[in-house]
Amino acid sequence: MKKTLSVLMLLLLLVSPVFATGQNEQAKGPATLSVLFYSPELADQYNDMIAAYKAETGVTLDITVLQTDYRSVLTSRLNSGDVPDIFMSSAYADNSTYKDYVYDLTDEDFIKQLQPSALQGVTVNGRVIGYPFLVQSHSFIYNKKVFKDNGITTLPRTLSEYEAVAKKLQANGVQPFATGFKEYWVLPQTAWQALAAIPAKNYGGYENFVSMLNTGKLKFKDIPEMNQVFDLLDLIGKYGGPKPNESDFSDQTSSIATGKVAMIHQGNWAEDSIRKTNPEVELGFLVGPTGNDASTAGIMFDSNQTIRIAKDSKNLQAALDWLRWLTTSDYGKNWIPGKVKQLSPIIGAPAPDSQIAKATSDLLASGVSGYPWFYQMFPTGTEQQLGSILQGYCAGQTTRDQTLDALDSTYAKIAKAAL
């Protein structure tokens, strides 16, 4: 009897810490997840998702949304040990930047629900280390009514054709472009699209092209087609109104919505902001010029915006449960196409009620080239720093040769630090 009592007492002692832990977890209640995201234009959509998830699970998503200082804030938090449970980054090069902080999602069941093509930018050595948030496209968006009212029926594909359209619009008293040059990130997106056909054509593919830049075997000043980058930026600036370097994202979206301008270089993420200004606006999507070769004109099409889960998060399972819900629940599958109005990476997700998303699908179906966002393979930090250099060029502060030297010098420093 005493032996039996002793065994029972021992068992109670062994399980009591587990029991106490369970009580503590129950006392805590549902988790609160610390989330750091960018894309403030999606604030309403984030808030809708936060409310839906809390109503269904009781879990709170404490989301901080930033834009211009996002990377510096994230870096500061990572360095201080205040790592968000969930955070956002780019794909490609950022896989290396954040590899020591992120959870390997390869074996999670919900990953099988994603389009394989959407996973290419977050897969390293066969392992999936990020969640593709959106499938996005960018090129030139145009106001269909402005084009129609000014008799433009043939859509431009080459630099010369774009200039002819711009001249006609300006002669009719219409501003052809809103530049967005005040935003550093608009410049690289616009510039590198003009080079989109070159890495595969002349340098053995995108990865090899970036590798050559990283090792110094190739410099921007060695690329003859950089002239078509400058030509495009010059064209947009020339026909971009009296103060082209003061135009920002808000100016772009409001100007094209009201018909003040005819074209902007932006992505499908801009449509919601445009339609908030004018719900009745009719938008079209143009292929971006790669010099004057119409056959290589195309759009940029990729899944780059990436959700990362912190591998050392105290709320790891809760963070994974949220991603699973976002992927498999009825609300989650409809959130991107229904609320964000963009293309979803989830297999079987409905098509969004989006003019640019539909135009993207139509262009790709017609055989137009959909180029990957190869510039996201550049080392982390190049987007902002090279964008600032291009801003200086667009402001008339540097010549083409000076700009090329600055691009090469800055890129070399960033690449060396990243190795």
pLDDT tens digit sequence for 186-199:
999 999 999 999 99
* Residue 61 Rama label (left phi>0; alpha psi -120 to 50; beta): beta
Q: What pLDDT score was predicted for residue 117?
A: 87
Q: Which residues contact 202 (CB under 8 A, 6 or more apart)?
A: none
40 vs 61: CA distance, rounded Å: 16
Averaged over 385-404, what is the pLDDT? 97
Distances (CA, A) of 24 to 14, 97, 315, 321: 17, 36, 15, 20
Look up residue 396 and give its amino acid.
Answer: G
What is the number of alpha carbons within 13 Å of residue 390 lying toward its C-beta?
30
Over 90: is that where the pLDDT of 265 sits? Answer: yes
Band (pLDDT 50/70/90 cuts) for residue 21 is very low
Task: Give the largest CA-CA distance in the chain.
Answer: 104
Task: Name the β-bridge partners of 62.
Answer: 34
Is the pLDDT score of 284 beyond 80? yes
pTM reported for the whole predicted model: 0.82
Residue with tokens 């094209």, as numbered in its chain: 256
**pLDDT at position 28, please?**
63
Residue 78 burial by Cβ neighbours in a 10 Å radius (0-12, 13-18, 19+): middle
Query: What is the pLDDT confidence band of residue 92, given thresholds at 50, 70 and 90?
Result: very high
252, pLDDT greater than 50:
yes
Whether 281 and 143 have beta carbons less than 8 Å apart is answered as yes
Percentage with pLDDT > 70 across the chain: 93
Nearest to 210 by CA among 411, 417, 3: 411
DSSP 349-413: PPPPS-HHHHHHHHHHHTT-EEE--GGGGSPTTHHHHHHHHHHHHHTTSS-HHHHHHHHHHHHHH
pLDDT at 418: 84
Distance CA 167, CA 64 (A): 44
| Residue 293 token pair | 């070769």
**Phi and psi of 390, rounded to 5°?**
-65, -30
- pLDDT mean across residues, the chain: 92
Tell me the pLDDT band of 122, cut-offs 50, 70 and 90. very high
Alpha-carbon distances, residue 205 vs 14, 121, 264, 371 (angstroms) = 60, 15, 29, 12
User: Can you give the pLDDT at residue 26?
Assistant: 40
Q: Does residue 21 or residue 87 have the better pLDDT? A: 87
